[in-house]
Structure 1
Amino acid sequence: MAMPPDRPDSPDIPEAVAAPRPRWRLPLIWLVPIIAVLIGAWLAVKAVVERGPTITITFTTGEGLDAGKTKIKFKHVDIGVVKSVTLSRDHSRVVATADIVKDASDLLVNNTRFWVVRPRISGGTVSGIGTLLSGSFISMDVGNSTTIRHDFVGLETPPVFASDVPGREFVLKAQDMGSLDVGSPIFFRRLQVGQVTAYKLDSDGKGVTINVFVNAPYDRFVTNNTRFWHASGIDVSLDTSGVKVNTQSLVSIVIGGLAFQTPPDTADISEAAVKTQFELFESFADAMKRHDNIVDTYVLNFTESVRGLTIGAPVDFRGITVGEVTAIYTRFDPVTKQISIPVEIHFFPERFTSRYQPGATGAGRVSRDPQALATYLVGRGLRAQLRTGSLITGQLYIAVDFFPNAAKASMDWSKNPPEFPTTPGNLQSLQESLTSLMTKLNKIPFDAIGKNAQQTLVEANTLLKRLDTEVTPQARDTLIAAHKALDSANSALLPNSPLQQGAGDALSELARTAAAFRTLADYLERHPEALIRGKPGDQK
């Protein structure tokens, strides 16, 4: 405080001047927390700006899911982590909430798929073995949709192929699954070119729908006329060339599989579109069987046994298959009180169209009026007949041929389907012939014939006894007399016997007489006048 100036004894001290006090002063020590707050705010803003979306994935089970540990990977690159695993409101599913990095936000589209990778064995393939050491994780397959989505339903099994794998998917309709499963292989000329991706039972329960995927570039060999068939197991066939064994691979024998091929005579070889539906056949033979556009249905009524005739048996015309059996029934006629067996067949008229002539199209029917043609051929003796196709298996087939001596018949076009006339088979004719022969043999009186034969044998025995007692002694005496006569003749014919000597002398005299006659004849030939005059010596 300054001393008053009127005081003489005050020291010489400068006068103090009052300075104004500042309103607010920040101590330097506060700069550190302020900078820390600014850095924290910047980091928070950066975290918010760089933070990716949060998604939810629902699964049927929480196996392999751990909050804060389970990673979400795409192409084995971490793009997120599961933050929480909870139950859904109805407790039927598990909801996994995960944070995804911002760079992967454009991968979350409508048809993106998620699944838990864990060790699996399915369809002959083993996957997820690496998770035995590293633990399970969620894998992702990106879809091709443009719609953003943040809630997903996870797959219970991994997809067979990724969305970016080149190829095409097709649909097969079959009676049953056989030994197929998801991941079962698909073969083309014994090369594995695809796999089964999914299957489901049809809504009516009468079949199954199978989704398959064929990898590129093999998918271009699937045309609109391609045939698919079961390649499971071993196909064994027996024909005139011997036993044939056919299979695709050892894999198909163990776990099953499919195969496809286009028939060689197919005209349309355009590639099939995605999701094209095909029929799945039971075997290669069924698949390669010719499929005709024109099919007529007839009924054949047989009165003989059809044991050995099966559905699918061929209808044959002189060695060419022109149809097949589709159904076998039984029918009772209340008028005639007889039971017959109607057999329904499919007849393929296109197979009668000429194909060997140059320029022939080979399509359509033989005649524009098929009913008139069939009526004419039936009038000429065209009939259906059961015949044996194999003596080993006893299988039957239906032969269609001309039988000029067959009973008169006609087509009844008022029935639907019309009934085609038949004629008894060769086996039935043989049986009827044997039956007729046995009937005739049964009419022969074998008992009476046997009695007459026995009586004849008794009479023959009596006759033999009489011959032995009466004829035999006389025959013996006659033979002795004949033997004596032969002995006498033999003695007379000996060289030194008197008969032989006398015969020799007589022959000598006869030779001399013949010589004298020859001399006389020669003389008279030279002197014919001697017959009148005599010899010259006699005229003296």
Structure 2
Amino acid sequence: MSSEQNPPEPDLPQAVPVRRHRLAPSLVWLIPVVAALIGGWLAVHAILSRGPSITISFQNAEGIEAGKTRIKYKDVEIGEVTSVKLSPNRQAIIATAQLSKDAADYLAEDSRFWVVRPRVSGGGVSGLGTVLSGSYIGMDIGKSEARKSDFVGLETPPIINADLPGQTFTLRADNLGSLNTGSPVYFRRVPVGQVVGYELEPKGGFVKVAVFINAPYDRFVSANSRFWHASGVDVSLSANGLNVSTQSLAAIALGGIAFETPLADNAGIPLSDRNFILHDTRDKALQNPDREMQPFRLRFRQSLRGLTIGAPVDFRGITIGEVTAIGVQYVPERKDFDMTVDIRTYPSRLDSLSRGGRISGKLSPQALVANGMRAQLRSGNLLTGQLYVALDFFRDAPPAKLAVKGGLPELPTIPGDLEELQRVLQRIVKKLDAIPFDSIGQEADASLKSLQQTLDSVKRLSDGLNNQTVPQASKTLEQLQQTLEATRQTMKADSPLQQDVRSAAQEVKETARSFRALADYLDRHPEALVRGKEAQP
């Protein structure tokens, strides 16, 4: 049973253990080796593909966050801000950014960076797209060949990009007026550019305004072009009535500049200089340039109230100069003061209006003074009391000569119209003071008494007439009325007189008819005058 239940086991080969060599590599270790190789390759690739690192300084870190704020050029992402920290002097913040390798050529010396965020300005609203996506740093690539990695960011976005076609011009102005960055520039009322910046001259003498004219409109700017302020509304009153002019509603709100080339110079002169003068008005801008300048000094013995520096010097309605200075000088001989006025005249302005040739070359100040030319203060506006200097010929003026004192020729003057009127009124007042009003009053009193006596006599005479003459006149009027009534009764149609008159008229009519019949018979029988009338058969 036991042999049947437990059969003999077959003979199996015995396993022989083999000792493994401990230095043989295991396949399991290949996985970390491969991973390390891949990581190293990725690290090397990242290092080789990484672009330059730059720093940008801003006044504050508004809208800038490390690891989130991107750097974009034309809305294409080219980098990222990696860190933000304060500058050593704590006056600004320094943002460190890592750019892509392709952006290495963008780091020109004049490249510009700014933070794009929602902004509201007079020119409009910008950066609305960043309300949802968040702020980012915008970039504008410069044109310089030099390279750098440290930049100062702009606090406001630039008005124009470096790659925008057009030209930039510099205008010199006495004051900025209502201009601001972004103010439009017009040519024939068409917006062709804008103001891109302004700065005060180091000595404070004038303001430099930079304007950019877009292509192709920049070709309309030549050496003869004239620029002027086109801000607000220009109101002028002339013989044609009230004239109101403005470039656009934007120019009223934001200010603006307009330019034009005179019709005679439409061909244009090639630009040799990009600097121009910014005039206050269009009329001043389009005036012909003054080639000649002649200064004079005037002396007045009257008040200069209402005369200001810059007031016009007028010759029969033509402005040929302006007042440059106003002063006072003591005269010991008279123990009085002379009010001095320095003027500047431009004789060439008369040449520009002359059709017969050059005038200024024929003008001699000494000859003009000998012929009666004088300077006079006149009122330019009765409401404001503004004065101006008028040059004209006064043939009745006392003889005078053109004197030169202090290096300036002094042009003779005569009193102004208002001054002369005051003198006439003073003379009239003096004559009125000389009239003996007291004696005239006494004589007038005596005359009034005599007149009163005369009136009393007239009254007595009137009373006598009322008592005597009036009753007689009443009786005469009653008799006249009775006579008129008798005449009216006589002239009635049924009165006896009227009947007698009608009977007499009838008899006269019958007699006339008999005479007519006799005349007709004698006309037919003239012999009847001798023979008599023949008997009828």
- Same structural fold, with TM-score higher than 0.5 when normalized by the shorter chain: yes
Instruction: State the one-letter code of the partner of 2:276.
Output: F
Query: Distance in 2 between the 1:221 and 1:284 partners?
Result: 17
What residue is the counterpart of 1:308 in the other structure? 306
Which residue of 407, 421, 443 maps to 1:416? 407
CA contact (8 A) 2:288 2:352 kept: no
Shift of the 346–356 alpha-carbon distance from structure 1 to 2, 3 Å rule, reads: closer
Query: What are the equivalent positions in structure 2 for 1:353-502 lying under 5 Å apart?
Result: 353=351, 356-357=354-355, 360=357, 362=358, 365-367=360-362, 373-459=364-450
**What SS does structure 1 have at the residue aligned with 2:90?**
coil
Query: Distance in 2 between the 1:174 and 1:282 partners?
Result: 8
Query: Distance in 2 between the 1:95 and 1:110 partners?
Result: 18
Mapped pair 1:115 → 2:114: yes
CA contact (8 A) 1:220 1:271 kept: no
What residue is the counterpart of 1:195 in the other structure? 194
Query: What are the equivalent positions in structure 2 for 1:94-173 lying under 5 Å apart?
Result: 94-173=93-172
CA contact (8 A) 1:123 1:181 kept: no
Query: Distance in 1 between the 2:221 and 2:179 partners?
Result: 20
What residue is the counterpart of 1:499 in the other structure? none
Instruction: State the one-letter code of the partner of 1:93.
Output: A
Query: How far off is 1:408 after superposition?
Result: 1.4
Query: Distance in 2 between the 1:244 and 1:341 partners?
Result: 38
Query: Distance in 1 between the 2:255 and 2:85 partners?
Result: 40
Shift of the 456–269 alpha-carbon distance from structure 1 to 2, 3 Å rule, reads: same
Per-residue deviation, residues 427-468 of structure 1 (Å, max 9, x unmatched): 322332232233223222232233234334545666787899
User: What is the identity percentage for the equivalent residue pairs of Structure 1 and Structure 2?
Assistant: 48
Instruction: State the one-letter code of the partner of 1:42.
Output: W
Query: Distance in 2 between the 1:75 and 1:45 partners?
Result: 30
What residue is the counterpart of 2:278 in the other structure? 280
Per-residue deviation, residues 375-395 of structure 1 (Å, max 9, x unmatched): 111111111122333445443
CA contact (8 A) 2:172 2:277 kept: yes
Query: Distance in 1 between the 2:259 and 2:409 partners?
Result: 37
Instruction: State the one-letter code of the partner of 1:94.
Output: I
Query: Distance in 1 between the 2:448 and 2:192 partners?
Result: 89
Query: How far off is 1:197 after superposition?
Result: 1.5
Query: How far off is 1:39 after superposition?
Result: 2.6
Query: How far off is 1:346 after superposition?
Result: 1.1
Per-residue deviation, residues 354-376 of structure 1 (Å, max 9, x unmatched): 76547x4x5x8414xx6xx1111
What residue is the counterpart of 1:297 in the other structure? 295
Query: Distance in 2 between the 1:162 and 1:233 partners?
Result: 28
CA contact (8 A) 1:383 1:420 kept: yes
Query: How far off is 1:111 after superposition?
Result: 0.9
**What SS does structure 2 have at the residue aligned with 1:132?**
helix
CA contact (8 A) 2:312 2:321 kept: yes
What residue is the counterpart of 1:352 in the other structure? 350
Instruction: State the one-letter code of the partner of 1:442.
Output: D
Shift of the 454–187 alpha-carbon distance from structure 1 to 2, 3 Å rule, reads: same
Query: How far off is 1:420 after superposition?
Result: 0.6
**What SS does structure 2 have at the residue aligned with 1:366?**
helix
Query: Distance in 2 between the 1:463 and 1:177 partners?
Result: 84
What residue is the counterpart of 1:234 in the other structure? 233
Per-residue deviation, residues 483-512 of structure 1 (Å, max 9, x unmatched): xxxxxxxxxxxxxxxxxxxxxxxxxxxxxx
Query: How far off is 1:402 after superposition?
Result: 1.4
CA contact (8 A) 1:352 1:366 kept: no
CA contact (8 A) 1:387 1:398 kept: yes
Shift of the 132–232 alpha-carbon distance from structure 1 to 2, 3 Å rule, reads: same
Shift of the 467–173 alpha-carbon distance from structure 1 to 2, 3 Å rule, reads: closer
TM-score by length of 1: 0.75
Query: How far off is 1:141 after superposition?
Result: 0.2
Query: How far off is 1:323 after superposition?
Result: 1.6
Instruction: State the one-letter code of the partner of 1:436.
Output: R
CA contact (8 A) 1:125 1:183 kept: no
Query: How far off is 1:418 after superposition?
Result: 1.7
Query: How far off is 1:96 after superposition?
Result: 1.3
**What SS does structure 1 have at the residue aligned with 2:164?**
coil
Per-residue deviation, residues 337-358 of structure 1 (Å, max 9, x unmatched): 2233222211111123376547
Query: Distance in 1 between the 2:111 and 2:458 partners?
Result: 120
Query: Distance in 2 between the 1:353 and 1:164 partners?
Result: 47
CA contact (8 A) 1:221 1:271 kept: no
Query: How far off is 1:260 after superposition?
Result: 2.5
Query: Distance in 2 between the 1:79 and 1:204 partners?
Result: 43
Query: What are the equivalent positions in structure 2 for 1:195-214 lying under 5 Å apart?
Result: 195-214=194-213
Shift of the 257–151 alpha-carbon distance from structure 1 to 2, 3 Å rule, reads: same
CA contact (8 A) 2:288 2:349 kept: no
Query: How far off is 1:406 after superposition?
Result: 0.5
Per-residue deviation, residues 242-271 of structure 1 (Å, max 9, x unmatched): 322222222222222222233445588325
Aligned residues: 447
Of 160-169 and 220-229, deviating more is 220-229
What residue is the counterpart of 2:318 in the other structure? 320
Of 169-178 and 127-136, deviating more is 169-178
Query: How far off is 1:237 after superposition?
Result: 2.4
**What SS does structure 2 have at the residue aligned with 1:448?**
helix
CA contact (8 A) 1:314 1:324 kept: yes
Gapped regions of structure 2 (runs ≥ 5): 1-19, 473-537
Query: Distance in 1 between the 2:282 and 2:127 partners?
Result: 35
Instruction: State the one-letter code of the partner of 2:324.
Output: T
Shift of the 123–453 alpha-carbon distance from structure 1 to 2, 3 Å rule, reads: closer
Gapped regions of structure 1 (runs ≥ 5): 1-20, 481-540
Shift of the 250–196 alpha-carbon distance from structure 1 to 2, 3 Å rule, reads: same
Shift of the 268–435 alpha-carbon distance from structure 1 to 2, 3 Å rule, reads: farther
TM-score by length of 2: 0.75
**What SS does structure 2 have at the residue aligned with 1:293?**
coil
Per-residue deviation, residues 208-255 of structure 1 (Å, max 9, x unmatched): 332221212222223334333333222222233332222222222222
Instruction: State the one-letter code of the partner of 1:378.
Output: V
Per-residue deviation, residues 107-137 of structure 1 (Å, max 9, x unmatched): 1111111111111123422211111110010
Query: Distance in 2 between the 1:465 and 1:177 partners?
Result: 85
CA contact (8 A) 2:380 2:386 kept: yes
Of 148-157 and 345-354, deviating more is 345-354
CA contact (8 A) 1:180 1:255 kept: yes
Shift of the 156–336 alpha-carbon distance from structure 1 to 2, 3 Å rule, reads: same
